[in-house]
Structure formats: C-alpha cells, structure tokens
Amino acid sequence: MKPLLLLDVDGVLNPMGRITPDFRSYRCTIGSEVYVVHLNPRHGRRLLELALATGSELVWATTWEHHANEWIAPRIGLPTLPVIPLDPDVPSERGEMFKTPHVAAYAGRRPFVWFDDQVWAEDEEYLRGSQGLENFLLIHVDPARGLTSRHLGMAREWLTLTGFSQGP
C-alpha cells in the first residue's frame, strides 16, 4: 500500500500573503470565474522528489478538484494526478473541515500525509475517533506563506521513521 501525499492548492501551493520573487502569477479561467494564482515552479519538482524518495503517490485534495490538473499541475511541473472528489455539503460531525470525510473515504487504510492550510485538531480527532485511522500526518501550512522546505521535511521524516516509506 503506497502512502499518499495529499495536496491542497489555495493556501498551500497558492499562498495568500506577500509573494516572494520565486513565485509567478497566473490568471486562470474556470467557467465564468477568473482567478489569479501565485505558484512556485519549484514546488512540482520538490513534491515529485518527495514522492519518489518515499514511494508515495501524489493526490489532489483541493476544491479545485480536476481543475488542478488543468491549471496548477502544468505550471509547477506535475503530471496529471488523481483527485479526491469533494462535496462541500457534507455536514460536520466533530467540527472537522468538509474535506476530511472525503479524505478518509479516499485513503481507506493507506497511510497519508495531508498538506492543507485548514487542518486542525478537529480533523485529527475525526480521522482517529470516527474513522479509526492511525497512520496519517496532518501538516498545517500557514496560508500566508504556503508550502515550505520544513513541511516537505516533516513529511519525509514521518514517512521514513514510521516505516511507511516505500522509496529506494
């Protein structure tokens, strides 16, 4: 069972704060909506390296859903990734974010690391308490800064130390 690396877009790959020079701005049109996203093209390579080193599978866990493959992946150098389908109308049981039940259903018993700016203690409680999951790491990303080397290092360390790493 390959571990999963679950990726959010807004607040993780597309930070909401002051943008540093290593980010590029893009205008994305989805339907009639136009979004401006700020992406670091190095994120794709670093995520692919992490997936390869740990034998993990990258998966979108974002409200962008399949649009992430169209608008985000090619701009940061990621291939088309699987997508966790999300329904924002799922009611909360323990104060967890609406994505959390979908992540639990998708992951099943596979170990996973989830990079998101909205994961909190309630999400961990839901996953452990309601779903009986134990083998996961929630990495809260500061939405003002986005994904950093520290976050990637935390994921690599957890996957390696827990023995979930399937890498070379």
Please state, in angstroms and rounded to a whole number, the distance separating the CA atoms of residues 15 and 54.
25
Evaluate if residue 88 carries a pLDDT over 80.
no
- pLDDT score for 95: 87
Give 149's pLDDT tier (boundaries 50, 70, 90). Answer: very high
Phi and psi dihedrals of 156, rounded to 5?
A: -60, -45
| Cβ atoms 141, 150 nearer than 8 A | no
Tokens representing residue 88 in the block = 């924002």
> DSSP character for 148?
-
- Amino acid of residue 150: R
**pLDDT reported for residue 168:** 64
pTM greater than the 0.85 cutoff: yes
Query: Residue 55 — pLDDT band, cuts 50, 70, 90?
Result: very high
158 versus 92: the higher-pLDDT residue is 158
Model confidence at 132, in pLDDT bands (50, 70, 90)?
Answer: confident
Instruction: Give the residue-averaged pLDDT of 49-57.
Output: 97
- The predicted model gives 14-20 an average pLDDT of 93
Highest mean pLDDT pick, 11-15, 94-98, 129-133: 11-15
User: Average model confidence (pLDDT) for the chain?
Assistant: 94
What pLDDT sits at residue 100? 95
CATH of domain 4-161: 3.40.50
- Rounded to whole angstroms, the Cα distance separating 156 from 55 reads 10
More confident residue, 96 or 94: 96
Torsion of CA 98, 100, 104, 105, to 10 degrees: 10
Distant-in-sequence contacts of 19-25, Cβ < 8 A, 24+ apart: 24/75
